[in-house]
Amino acid sequence: MANGTRTADYAAAIASWRKDAQFSVDYSKAYLGMEHAYVLGLSGRGQTIGINDAGVLTTHPQFQGAGKITGLRTVVPAAYGNDGLINPRRRWEGHGTHVAGTAAGSRVDGLPMFGNAFNANIYSATANFAAGDFLWYKDQVIDGTLVSTPRENIVNLASTGQVRIINNSWGSGNSLPYDAPLTTVLQQFRQDLGTFYDPVLKNDVLVVFSAGNGSGVHASVDAVAPFSDPRLRGNWLSVANYQANLTATPSTSFCGQTATWCVSGPGSNIVSSVPAYEFDRQGIQAQFTRAAYPTLYAATTVAALQSASVNRFIAALNEYLGAKDAAQRAGVAFDETAARRRVAQEAVAITLVAGSRLNTPDGVTANLAGILAGNLNILTPEFSSAVLVEADAMMATMLGRFIRYTGPGYAAYTGTSMAAPNVSGFAAVLMEAFPEYNTPLISDILVSSSKDLDTPGVDLKSGWGAPQMEVALRGPTALRAVRDVTVVAGTVDVWSNDIADARTRYSAEVLQAFPNDIGGLVKKGGGELILTGNSGYTGPTRVEQGLLTVNGQLRNSALTLVAGGTLGGTGRIATLNATGGTVSPGAAAGGIGTLTVAGNATLGAGSQLLIDVGTPGQSDQLAVTGGRLQLNGGTLALRAAGGRPLLYDERYTVATVTGGVAGSFATPQALSAILFPSLSYGPNAVTMRIAAGRYADIVSATPVQTAYARLLDGNRGAYANLRGTYDLLDVQNATTIRTSLEGLAPRTETTKRALGTAAIDHMARFYRDRLAALRPGSGGGGTVSMIGRPVEVAANAITMPGQQQMVSDAGLTTVREGALPDTMSAYLAGGYINGSNAAMPATSFGDARERFDGMYIAAGLEGEAGEQGTLGFSLSYTDLDSRRLMARSASGELIQGTLYGKLGAVGGPMLDAQFSAGVFQARTRRTGTLIGTTFDLATRDNALALSTEVGGSYAFGSDSLHLSPRVALRASRIDFTPTGERGSGPALLFRQDRFASLQGRAGLQIDGDSRGFRPFATAYYVHDFEDRPGVVTATLAGGKGATASFLVAGQDHDWAEIGAGVAYASGAVEFSLGADTTIGRDDVRNQSYRGAMRIRF
């Protein structure tokens, strides 16, 4: 808002500026539409405007603040204005101060006005014009001293490198009609400028000239400078003066042949800053009466007053010459000093009277001084110089009487001098809006934004017309030449205007002189330029840097794209030739869209077509609707819209063509380690399918990665069932795929087999030890024994699920006498198991060991089978759990029945046998994340478990020591069924697998007895004859059947088992302690520790 508050209501913000008192102090800002810039916060900030004029009253409130105004030091003598200040002999001079305030006066509360670019800075240069200064003609014309530097100031201001605009509200008068033909204008105005204005071009400065106040004549010679140096045309503006009703001010000069760089600005009754003073007109007229100067008072127009003033002064000079001539002829003395004084007095009186009529102390000083300096051959330099010096002194005295300075003030001035700074301020605001644009482009935007006046089109009177900020902020509407358009990285400019060749806007008389003004643009800088208009310019469009987004139309411009540039959008262009760079149809932010080429399109070897792709079938397209698509080996790149990855077998159309496709793209870059685009070229389209390479080609040669690669490659035909896995892995790089596959190793399969082995081996050892304790012919005497603490073991398994069991085979034994017939006995046994097994080989934990523990419980009946035989039957339950490692676990439950027996005599040969059959129920679970997606997979298998052992032994020794060598053959197997993992994630289906063992066992049993103290020991050598495969075969669950083998831990063939203990009996109580372990076995190690107590009743 104009009062500094913020609002989202654009219309309200516009209205607030239009109602603002400072804004509406005159019509100038509304005429130009400055409110449309102010609501956006634009005010010329960061810009510096050079004011090349009569000097500025720098103490005026409009110019306060650090850095607001700077003065240019020139070479003029000290008595003249310098450092941008007013000539001290002309303190009333308000022209430069008014111009500076109009262009860039600050916006200060309480002041009546502000400049169009109120936050711009000012660089003031004093031109020291002749008006109002008698000494100027003596010093500059007669003595040849440089006291006026208006054109030099342009060059010097430009050379500072600090200004972008130089305003020149001055010019040389002429009488050439505004509609004079170009040949006449060139004949009269053309100069040899050479390289004089090179600093203007080098420093990219816009030079603004007032057209002049010649009441309908052609613009002045300085406004016409581009005819003498055509390079200046984009850096030059000529400004005529038009009123609020969009008609010409009567005093204005017109654009004439400067029309193509001329606009019509507001310059009538413009209120701005001036030095304030009171001019005593009545006092002057009282001293210099009507009776004394009748012709000056009788004049009713400025021209008539100037004519009367000149005639009166010429009469005074003629009187001087006549008197001097008469004295010479008469031979009498002539008082030259007095005569000169009278001429000086007459000059002062005439200019004061004229000034009182015109209400300016300047009067007609320049007219009169010019007569003196222009007639030196008649008047002599000495006479003219003396008169000018004395007139200057008299003038200073008179003005001391008739002028009282009152400080800073404001006044309304009229003229092209006021129109020019209004346009300069407009240009500064536009430069703030487009800070990277060069001056020729700013100039094109400014002039082409204009509202048409007078004759339709750009005409010889008003030029382009009245500049309009609302239009200018949307970019150019016409271009006079091919312009560089620089948009810095990180910024976006939007041109929503329709852009035409400038020549299409010219009236017939202007077009005749400038028939070749056609537009084009070269996009530079790393930022984005968006074109949304329906543009018909015919010059080239070239994208060299950054992004050009065409969302409108370029109907006639041939577009060239080179390395470093990007073309995007959803619009329509005439033709396309991409020798390099990137063609990216659709929105710049990755949105999907179609870029249309009405004619031929060529994508060269250095170019890239970047296609945003969404869901299948949804992608950017290059649509060549009126010609051929020529592909010369450029690349096709893909970008997932919205971050969605491209997936296997998705299909897209990347280009459609009506005139055929020739050539091809280079081989597209892979999308990932697996996926790549596969292109097909038809007569009217280029289509793409996302194809997949082989995992086997990118994985490392580890067993796990190799196995998974075989599964993934072999089951690609089942993609629809397995896309949850493929879609995660397909889009990754090789390193991620390798790491991910390694992390999916089915380690639990090794653990599962180890648990089965431990369970079945442990129970075989339990029954082997049971057989060793049996004595043929002894049925147990009707006892019931409790071995270990089976009730506690079962209770612990219930009350502490998942906790690790720390001890194995606790064997405390309790015997209840007489509970069964004398030929039979029964027992209930239980205890703890622990151990470890080798992990899955060739994995990150392949050298580690996996711990497991659990419990067992068994119940059995034993009885005599004749005098030398014993037979038993038992049911057992074993529960083992692995300790969780790397989010993986396994458990197993062995439920089996066992028939065992022993035949022989004590002290002689014995034969023993056992046979077990049951179910090993195995469970596995592996959890984790695959490419950020959680998976949880579990299996459950009910495998048939069989075990049998036949052994023979012979007992030697005495009552105190027994030695029993024993040999045995043991066979066992677990038939694992085909088992599939259930749950979320990359599930495997494991094929049927038989885990078999055939062992030969040879050993020695020793026990003794001495006064109730009974040590015992066993030792076995074991050899496993079975060669089990060290792999498990699996496929992907839901796949097409392709299988792969995963390693499991290998088997040991030879190891030892030893056990030892001691028992002590005293009275009715017997205690025993024992332990056994494997030696030299790595696949499944296990130990047991037993303690027993037997009480006789």
Instruction: Give the list of residues 6+ apart from residue 287 with CB closer than 8 angstroms, or none.
Output: none
How far is the C-alpha of 570 from the C-alpha of 553, rounded, in Å? Answer: 9
Q: How confident is the model at residue 821 (pLDDT cuts 50, 70, 90)?
A: low
Helix (H, G, I), strand (E, B) or coil at 1043: strand
Helix (H, G, I), strand (E, B) or coil at 395: helix
pTM over 0.95, yes/no: no
* pLDDT of the residue at 183: 94
- The answer to whether residues 766 and 894 touch, using CB atoms and an 8 Å cutoff, is no
Mean pLDDT, residues 940-948: 95
pLDDT greater at residue 435 or residue 1014? 435
Q: What is the DSSP secondary-structure string of 421-449? A: HHHHHHHHHHHHHSTT--HHHHHHHHHHT
Q: Choose, from 60, 95, 98, 762, the residue flagged as catalytic.
A: 95
Q: Which tokens in the block code for residue 162?
A: 């600090």
**Helix residue spans in 679-746 (DSSP H):** 703-714, 719-729, 734-743
Can you give the length of the chain in residues? 1097
Residue 37 is given by DSSP the state H
- pLDDT tens figures, 167-198: 999 987 889 999 999 999 999 999 999 999 99
- Active site includes 889? no
Amino acid at 1087: Q
- Please tell me the number of Cα atoms within 13 Å of 3 on its side-chain side: 6
- The answer to whether residues 1095 and 815 touch, using CB atoms and an 8 Å cutoff, is yes
What are the CA-CA distances from residue 1006 to residues 293, 949, 1087, 1088 (Å)?
159, 21, 20, 18
Please determine, for residue 647, whether its predicted confidence score (pLDDT) is greater than 50: yes
CA-nearest of 395, 251, 367 to 308 is 367
CA-nearest of 784, 810, 916 to 862 is 784
Q: Which residues of 403-414 are buried (b: 16+ CB within 10 A; e: fewer)?
A: eeeeebbbbebb
* pLDDT of the residue at 845: 60
Task: Give the count of beta carbons closer than 10 Å to the beta carbon of residue 1009.
Answer: 16
CA-nearest of 140, 146, 127, 137 to 85 is 127
Please determine, for residue 808, whether its predicted confidence score (pLDDT) is greater than 50: no
- pLDDT tens figures, 52-90: 999 999 999 999 999 999 999 999 998 899 999 999 999
Q: How confident is the model at residue 659 (pLDDT cuts 50, 70, 90)?
A: very high
Q: Which tokens in the block code for residue 222?
A: 């300085």
Q: Choose, from 28, 36, 43, 53, the residue flagged as catalytic.
A: 53
- The answer to whether residues 239 and 210 touch, using CB atoms and an 8 Å cutoff, is yes
Supply φ then ψ for residue 262, to 5 degrees: -125, 140
Q: Which tokens in the block code for residue 63?
A: 């110019």
pLDDT greater at residue 841 or residue 518? 518
* Least confident span in 713-717, 777-781, 788-792: 788-792
Q: Which tokens in the block code for residue 120?
A: 């711009």
- The answer to whether residues 751 and 882 touch, using CB atoms and an 8 Å cutoff, is yes
What percent of the chain has pLDDT above 90? 75
- The answer to whether residues 619 and 650 touch, using CB atoms and an 8 Å cutoff, is no
Q: Choose, from 220, 273, 385, 417, the residue flagged as catalytic.
A: 417
Please determine, for residue 960, whether its predicted confidence score (pLDDT) is greater than 80: no
Q: How confident is the model at residue 886 (pLDDT cuts 50, 70, 90)?
A: low
What is the residue-averaged pLDDT of the chain? 91
How far is the C-alpha of 117 from the C-alpha of 124, rounded, in Å? Answer: 15
CA-nearest of 703, 655, 720, 702 to 682 is 655
* pLDDT of the residue at 548: 97
Instruction: Give the list of residues 6+ apart from residue 284 with CB closer than 8 angstroms, or none.
Output: 352, 353, 355, 356, 402
- Active site includes 36? no
Amino acid at 329: R
* pLDDT of the residue at 438: 98
- Active site includes 507? no
Residue 411 bridge partners (DSSP): 272
Residue 504 is given by DSSP the state G
Q: How confident is the model at residue 1097 (pLDDT cuts 50, 70, 90)?
A: very low
Residue 138 is given by DSSP the state I
* Least confident span in 757-766, 889-898, 909-918, 1011-1020: 1011-1020
Q: Which tokens in the block code for residue 115?
A: 């400049």
CA-nearest of 54, 19, 49, 18 to 36 is 18
Please determine, for residue 791, whether its predicted confidence score (pLDDT) is greater than 50: no
How far is the C-alpha of 533 from the C-alpha of 1028, rounded, in Å? Answer: 78
Please determine, for residue 812, whether its predicted confidence score (pLDDT) is greater than 50: no
- pLDDT tens figures, 1041-1068: 789 898 888 788 898 989 887 867 676 5
How far is the C-alpha of 15 from the C-alpha of 37, rounded, in Å? Answer: 13
Strands 48-53, 165-168: pairing kind = parallel
Residue 870 bridge partners (DSSP): 864, 902
How far is the C-alpha of 446 from the C-alpha of 468, rounded, in Å? Answer: 8
Please determine, for residue 882, whether its predicted confidence score (pLDDT) is greater than 60: yes
What percent of the chain has pLDDT above 70? 93
* pLDDT of the residue at 797: 39
- The answer to whether residues 233 and 261 touch, using CB atoms and an 8 Å cutoff, is yes
780: left (phi over 0), alpha (psi -120 to 50) or beta: left
CA-nearest of 243, 63, 270 to 169 is 270
What are the CA-CA distances from residue 237 to residues 37, 165, 219, 445 (Å)?
21, 10, 11, 12
**Helix residue spans in 47-168 (DSSP H):** 95-104, 134-137, 150-159
How far is the C-alpha of 415 from the C-alpha of 632, rounded, in Å? Answer: 62
Supply φ then ψ for residue 800, to 5 degrees: -125, 60
CA-nearest of 583, 884, 949, 602 to 747 is 884
Q: At what angle do helices 719-729 and 734-743 cross, to 10 degrees?
A: 110
- The answer to whether residues 924 and 897 touch, using CB atoms and an 8 Å cutoff, is no
How far, in whole angstroms, is CA 896 from its chain's centroid? Answer: 68
Task: Give the count of beta carbons closer than 10 Å to the beta carbon of residue 66.
Answer: 5
Please determine, for residue 112, whether its predicted confidence score (pLDDT) is greater than 70: yes
Q: Which tokens in the block code for residue 776?
A: 């043929």
Mean pLDDT, residues 346-351: 97
**Helix residue spans in 27-181 (DSSP H):** 28-32, 35-38, 95-104, 134-137, 150-159
270: left (phi over 0), alpha (psi -120 to 50) or beta: beta
* pLDDT of the residue at 1071: 63
- The answer to whether residues 487 and 436 touch, using CB atoms and an 8 Å cutoff, is yes
Q: Which tokens in the block code for residue 902?
A: 């022993």
- The answer to whether residues 422 and 242 touch, using CB atoms and an 8 Å cutoff, is no
- The answer to whether residues 1082 and 1052 touch, using CB atoms and an 8 Å cutoff, is yes
Amino acid at 249: T
* Least confident span in 458-462, 679-683, 817-821: 817-821
Q: Which tokens in the block code for residue 493?
A: 């400019």
How far is the C-alpha of 27 from the C-alpha of 35, rounded, in Å? Answer: 12
Please determine, for residue 1095, whether its predicted confidence score (pLDDT) is greater than 70: no
Q: How confident is the model at residue 825 (pLDDT cuts 50, 70, 90)?
A: confident
Please determine, for residue 977, whether its predicted confidence score (pLDDT) is greater than 80: yes
- The answer to whether residues 931 and 729 touch, using CB atoms and an 8 Å cutoff, is yes
Mean pLDDT, residues 1002-1023: 85
pLDDT greater at residue 137 or residue 963? 137
Task: Give the count of beta carbons closer than 10 Å to the beta carbon of residue 851.
Answer: 14
Helix (H, G, I), strand (E, B) or coil at 100: helix
Strands 784-787, 813-816: pairing kind = antiparallel
How far is the C-alpha of 733 from the C-alpha of 645, rounded, in Å? Answer: 13
* Least confident span in 355-359, 551-555, 973-977, 1079-1083: 1079-1083
Supply φ then ψ for residue 580, to 5 degrees: -165, -170
Which segment, 101-115, 641-655, 1001-1015, is predicted with the most confidence on average? Answer: 101-115
Measured CA angle at 1062 (ends 1056, 1063), to 5 deg: 140
How far is the C-alpha of 141 from the C-alpha of 866, rounded, in Å? Answer: 157
* pLDDT of the residue at 784: 52
